[in-house]
Chain A
Amino acid sequence: MESGIHISLSPSHIGDLWGLPITSTLLTSWLVVALLLAAAFVIGRSLVLVPGKGQVALEGMVGGILGYMEETLDDKALARKYFPLVMTIFLFILCANLVSLLPFVGPLEVNTSHGPVPLFYSVNTDFNIPLALAIIAFIAIEFAGITVLGALKYAHKFVNFKSVIGFIVGIIELISEVARLLTFSFRLFGNIFAGKVLILLALAFMPYLLPVPLLVYEVFVAVIQAAVFALLTLFFIKIAVTPLAEH
């Protein structure tokens, strides 16, 4: 990277596999999924009735998050149903962000037909990934609203002919509902992309000391963004399952 800083909004293309473009961010996300699944497999098998410190911490975390979800949703069954989704969103984004800060992510390159490209690259700098997560969260939120309230009652939130104000509020609700797709995905993408650019700049200016505090800050951002995405999913589910107040 002597020639300067290379920043691209679109992911680097490595090759194709059965028509699917393989990009460095896709590879990295596979790595993250593999790491998480391996960790889950090992941890899930080592659970014992009389727990060690690690298991106490894990159970405390799972129990704490589930308890918080039960409190927020005010419904034990609903909390249990959506716990895996919220927890997985948190774990995936957190691990993706943290793995992206590892030293081998970025500099390690492979040669392709159009020059060398990074083998692994910061996952959430590829807009496809936050967008995919946002779409999944969006579908889950709408699904929660429809299954809990019923399709008609849920639709009534957005299409309301009872009064003019009700109608306008419904339209605004509908727009903000769809806008969530963009806010969800761009919030995560923007934070991580900006962090990546910041670190690349710092590396270019002062490679030895300056990146350290920035990396610490990026770890913080990684946790915060993962928590924000998961919590917003939870809150939007809560909003979706809350029936329209009758005036």
Chain B
Amino acid sequence: MEALLTVFGIDWKMLLAEGLNFIVLLVGLSYFLYKPVMKMIESRKQVIEKGVQDAKEAEEALAHVEAERSAKLSAAEKQAEELLARAVAEGKQERGQIVKAAQERSDAVLAEARAQGAELSRRALAESEKEIARTAVLAAEKLLAQK
């Protein structure tokens, strides 16, 4: 056994040195390489998860906004329709009033014109009666003077 150890140059000091060597490497690599790489993989995973989550939320928000917009749009359309209908109804009513007023006015004007016409013809008749009487008197005077 002793000979075997000597042939291979086995020395507990060397074993210890090499063991220590390996442990230093193990600790160093864990600290400088494995931990940062694991952390990086982990944090990237979180970033991606967050991104996916955000995209989902944005999509939901978009759908919400879209629904709200269409609801508002249809409400506005309905309101406009109502407004139009009311305006049309009001217009109709006003037109009726105006037409009625015009009719009344024209009726009044017509009645007045008729009254005036009647008065004029009555006066003309009276005047012509007076004229005829005068002419008759004059004719009578003439006849009397000839005789």
Contact = CB atoms under 8 A, between A and B. Distances in A.
Interface of A: 9-11, 19-21, 23, 26, 29-30, 33, 36-37, 40-41, 43-45, 47, 49, 51, 55, 58-59, 62-63, 83-85, 87-88, 91-92, 126-129, 131-133, 135-136
A158 to B, nearest CB: 24
B9 A132 contact: no
Most chain A beta-carbon neighbours within 10 Å: one of B11, B37, B38: B37
9 contacts: A9-B8, A40-B33, A43-B32, A49-B47, A126-B9, A128-B15, A132-B14, A132-B22, A135-B15
B10 to A, nearest CB: 6
Q: Name the residue among B15, B21, B22, B36 with the largest chain A CB count within 10 angstroms.
A: B22
Nearest to B33: A40
B40 A92 contact: no
A85 B29 contact: no
Given A36-B25, A43-B33, A127-B10, 9 more contacts: A20-B17, A29-B18, A36-B28, A37-B28, A44-B37, A45-B36, A62-B38, A128-B10, A133-B18
A21 B14 contact: yes
B6 interface: yes
Interface residues of B, number: 33
B9 A47 contact: no
B37 A59 contact: yes
Contacts of A49: 40, 43-44, 47
Listed residue (B13, B23, B26) with the most chain A CB atoms within 10 angstroms of its CB: B26
Given A49-B40, A62-B38, A21 B25 contact: no
B32 to A, nearest CB: 4
